[in-house]
Structure 1
Amino acid sequence: MANFDRCEDKVFLFGDIYVKIYIYDISKALVFAFAGAGHSVTREDVMNEVSPWGYDYLKKKGLNVIGFTNIKGSYNYYRDAVFFKCLKELAKKLPDFKERLAYGGSMGGYAASAFSNVLGVDRLLLLNPISTRNKEIASWDYEAKRALSSFHFDWKGEFADGADTNACGYVVYDPLYELDKKHAIRYSTLEKLKVPGLGHSIATYLHEMKMLNWLVDSFIENSIDIEKFHELARSKRKIKRYYDWMLSDENKYLTDRRAKVFLRHCNSLFSKGKTSERLSDADVEMAMSIADILSKTDLVDSIKFLKIIHGNRPDIKAVRLKILEYRSLIKVLE
C-alpha cells in the first residue's frame, strides 16, 4: 500500500469493505466517514467508483476524506479481519494532518468510534451509534431482537467496542428510544446531544429538519453551539416523523398524561384553530391517533383538536364521525 500524501478519488477494497480516498491538502483536516447499513453499495457501484456516504459533501467542503462502506451481499458490520489488517496499514501510511475527525451513524457510528484509536482520530460525531454487538455488553439489543444477524460476527476480538474510544466529540441520539440511549451513554468521552422523538433514524430526520448540514459543518469547525442545537431541534415539531414515532410502540415513555402534553406540542403547529397548510391523508390519520390517546384522559380537548383537523379537511368523514362519537360519550358520562 503506497503512501497517501496526495490521493485524489482512489478506490480500494479492504477485504469486503469499499474505500474511497481523497487527500489533496494535508494542511486541512482529514475526515473518516463510515456509512451505516442503509448506505451500502453494490458490486456495480464499486466498478463505477461511486462515492460512499458523506464523501462528496466533505470533499466539496475542501476537506480530505476517506469514505468506508459495506458491499451489498457481503454485509459484515465492519467485522472483517482483512479490513482490520488493511486499516492498520493505512493508518501507518497516512501523513500528518491538521486534525483527524470521524463521522458515522448507527453501524457507521460503531465503526467511526471503534477504529478511532488506530486511526488517530481527535474528534468524533456519532449519530445514534451502535457501540457494540457483544451480547454480554449490549444484551438489550439482543433481547429486543434488533438486527439479530449482526450478532453472528466475532465481537470478542479487536475493535469490538466503540465505547473504548479515546477521542472527544459528540454523540447525538433520541433519549426516549431506550435501545439507542443505552448505547449512547456508554461513550464516556463524548458530549451527549439529545433529540427526543425521532427514534433510530436520526440522520435522515435531521436532514429533513434542515439541521444535518449545520451540525456537520459546526462539528468540522469545532464550533457546535449547544443552545442553537436545541433551538434547531425544536423544528422536529414540523415533521410528521416526530408525531409518528412519539405515538409508536418504540416510545416506552408514552402515557396518557404525556400524550396530553404531546398534544399541546402538536397544537403548536396550528394557529387560532386553523392549519397553515392542507393536511395530507397521512397527517389526518396521525392526528386521529393522537386524538384517540388524548380521549382516554380528556374528551373535551380531544374534540377541540379534532375540530381543528375537521376545519382543515372537512372532506374526511371519519373525523366528523369521531367528533360525534366523543360528544356522545360525554353525554353518557354526564
Structure 2
Amino acid sequence: MKDQHEPKTQSEWQTNLEDIGAKEGFYEALGDQHTALFVERGDTLIVTFENLDHVYERGADRMPWGYDFVTSRGWSMLGLMAHDWTWYRDSEVHDFFDRLRDEGFFERFSNVIFYGASMGAYAAAVFSSAAPGATVICISPQATLDREVASWETRYKKAWRRNYHDRYGYAPDLVADASAVHMFYDPRAPLDAMHVALFRGANIRKYRCRFMGHRIASLWLQLGILKPVIEGCVANTMTQAEFYTLLRRRRENGRFQKEMLQMLQKLDRPKMLARYCTAVLARRRGPNFRKALRAAEEQIARTNK
C-alpha cells in the first residue's frame, strides 16, 4: 500500500519538491528536462546528479538521489535531476552553474563534493569546474560523448548529437582545479576503462572495481559499502588500501558470484572454474554452481585422457 503522502503524479511530485525547496532552500526547473533542489543543512555541500537508472529503481520515490543519506548526516544538498538521457547538455543547466559560481554560492561551504554515476558522473566532473577546490566522486564516468574524440563509444546513441564543445564540455580538462577526483570503474569493462584512461593529473585517484561491470553503485548498495566509500571521500580519508578492504565483501555477494561464474565460463578455464564453484558451494547452496562444477570436472577428465 502506498504512503498517502507519496507523490502520485508529475504535478504532485513537482509540488512536493517546490514545498521542500521553499522551506529549506530552493527548487528550480531548468528548462523542460532538468530540475534542481537545494536543501541547506550544514557547511558540507553534496552536489548530486541523477542517472535515470536511479529514477527507474525508485519508482514513485522521486527525491534526488541520496537525499535521505545526505541530509541525515547534516550535510547540505544540491540535487540535479534529468528527465531524459540528456547528459545535462542544456544551456539552462550551464547557465544555472554559471550563476551559482558568479554569486559565490559554493563559497558558502567549507567542503563541496560533486557526485554522480555514469551520466551523472560525467556531469559531476564537468560542473565541478564551477567550484574550484571541490572533491569529485565519479563512478563509471564518461569523459565525453563527442564523436570526434570518443568514436569508439558505442553506447548512449541518443545523446551523441548533443554539444560537447562548450564551456562544460570535456570532462578531463574540467576537473583540473578539483582538489581530488575519485574515479571508480571496472577495468574489464573496455569502454568504461577507455573513458577513465583519458583522465590524467596529480589529483586523479583511480580505483579498480574488477568484475563489477558498469552499474557499480547498485552492487555497492547490496554490499553495504556505498555509504562508507562516499563518507571516506567526503572526509578525504579514502585510500586504496581502505577501499579494497571494503571491496572484499563482494566475495559473498550473489550477484558478484554469478558474474564471476559467467566470466570464468567465457574464459574456458575449467580448473579455475571448478575451484571457484567449489569455494562458493562450501558457503551456500547453488544449483547453477553445482551444474557448472560438474561440467568443468567432465571437461577436465576429457582433457586428461
TM-score, normalised via structure 1 length? 0.73
Cα distance between partner residues in 2 of 1:135 and 1:194? 26
Cα distance between partner residues in 2 of 1:38 and 1:24? 27
Counterpart for residue 152 of structure 1: 161
Q: Are the counterparts in 2 of residues 131 and 161 from structure 1 also a CA contact under 8 Å?
A: yes
Residue ranges of structure 2 left out of the alignment (5+ in a row): 1-21
Letter paired with 2:28: F
1:187 aligns with 2:176: no
Counterpart for residue 216 of structure 1: 230
State the aligned residue count. 274
1:104 aligns with 2:134: no
Q: CA deviation at 1:198?
A: 0.9
Counterpart for residue 240 of structure 1: 254
| Matching of residues 12-91 of structure 1 within 5 Å | 12-15=28-31, 16-25=33-42, 28-40=43-55, 50-71=62-83, 74-91=84-101
Q: Are the counterparts in 2 of residues 109 and 131 from structure 1 also a CA contact under 8 Å?
A: no
Q: Are the counterparts in 2 of residues 29 and 99 from structure 1 also a CA contact under 8 Å?
A: yes
Cα distance between partner residues in 2 of 1:157 and 1:147? 19
- Residues 1:66 and 1:252: Cα distance change in structure 2 (over 3 Å): farther
1:204 aligns with 2:218: yes
Q: Are the counterparts in 2 of residues 198 and 241 from structure 1 also a CA contact under 8 Å?
A: no
Cα distance between partner residues in 1 of 2:126 and 2:274? 40
Does the residue aligned with 2:160 lie in a helix, a strand or coil? helix
Q: CA deviation at 1:228?
A: 2.6
Aligned CA RMSD, in angstroms, stands at 2.9
Cα distance between partner residues in 1 of 2:244 and 2:273? 18
Aligned sequence identity (%): 23
- Residues 1:152 and 1:278: Cα distance change in structure 2 (over 3 Å): same
Counterpart for residue 261 of structure 1: 272
Letter paired with 1:299: I
Q: Are the counterparts in 1 of residues 115 and 138 from structure 2 also a CA contact under 8 Å?
A: yes
- Residues 1:214 and 1:263: Cα distance change in structure 2 (over 3 Å): farther
Counterpart for residue 24 of structure 2: 8
1:285 aligns with 2:294: no
1:138 aligns with 2:186: no
Counterpart for residue 299 of structure 1: 300
Q: CA deviation at 1:9?
A: 4.6
Does the residue aligned with 1:131 lie in a helix, a strand or coil? coil
Does the residue aligned with 1:53 lie in a helix, a strand or coil? coil
Q: CA deviation at 1:127?
A: 0.7
Letter paired with 1:108: G
Counterpart for residue 313 of structure 1: none
Cα distance between partner residues in 2 of 1:155 and 1:24? 34
Structure possessing the higher radius of gyration over alpha carbons: 1
Residue ranges of structure 1 left out of the alignment (5+ in a row): 1-5, 301-328
Letter paired with 2:99: E
- Residues 1:151 and 1:261: Cα distance change in structure 2 (over 3 Å): same
